[in-house]
Amino acid sequence: MSSGGIRLILVAALVLGLPVRAAPAGAEPARFRIEPEASELTFKATSRLVNADGRFHRFAGEVLADPKDLARARVSVTVEAASLDTGITRRDNHLRSADFFDVERFPAVTFEGLAVEPAGSQAVLRGRLTLRGVTREIRVPLELEVADGRMVARGQFTLNRSDYGMSYQSRLNPVGETVGVAFTFRATAVP
């Protein structure tokens, strides 16, 4: 392994809060499962009249990190699109329609993390987001804490809704193209 690769693993280990020591040969990757009841996944969309601040209530996910190669950590998150909630039933139903999430045809939003890259005192998770059947690679800045068999990951990013086929527009109430997404995922180690 090159010295750059070793440095990347050491920085990732420090960012993840894991001990920096050689793992025993054949060590199993650490697996963490997201606890939805202790986690939060929110979004914010803008419009001329009333912004849409909302959240998703049903999601699941898992993190698999090999202590020998943290740069290759894997993350998978699945969100039930119909579980969105902005507090306004009529707007929620419109967001579930074919104009936006089209939950009948695309019931899940998925994210598959491909690599963890150090970025100063934080990390960036590179992965593929699939929304409405469209998959795009995105980069998600993260703050991570790992201790005593628990992991907390916090981050936020923006996406362009039209990149995922959400091109609905209203003349009366124009909707912004970018949507902010924020999350705090709490996870516990599983055998």
Q: List the one residue out of 31, 34, 19 whose CA is nearest residue 64.
A: 31
Is the pTM for the entire model greater than 0.75? yes
Give per-residue pLDDT as tens, 63-116.
997 756 667 789 999 999 999 999 999 999 999 999 999 999 999 999 999 988
> For the domain that residue 181 is a member of, what is the CATH number?
2.40.128.110
Give per-residue pLDDT as tens, 110-133.
999 998 887 776 889 999 999 999
Using only C-alpha atoms, the chain has a radius of gyration, in whole angstroms, of 18
- The one-letter code for the residue type at 140 is V
**Percent over 90 (pLDDT), the chain:** 61
How many domains are contained in the chain?
1
Range of the domain at 33: 3-190
Alpha helices in the chain (DSSP H): 3-16, 89-96
Give per-residue pLDDT as tens, 3-20.
333 333 333 443 444 433
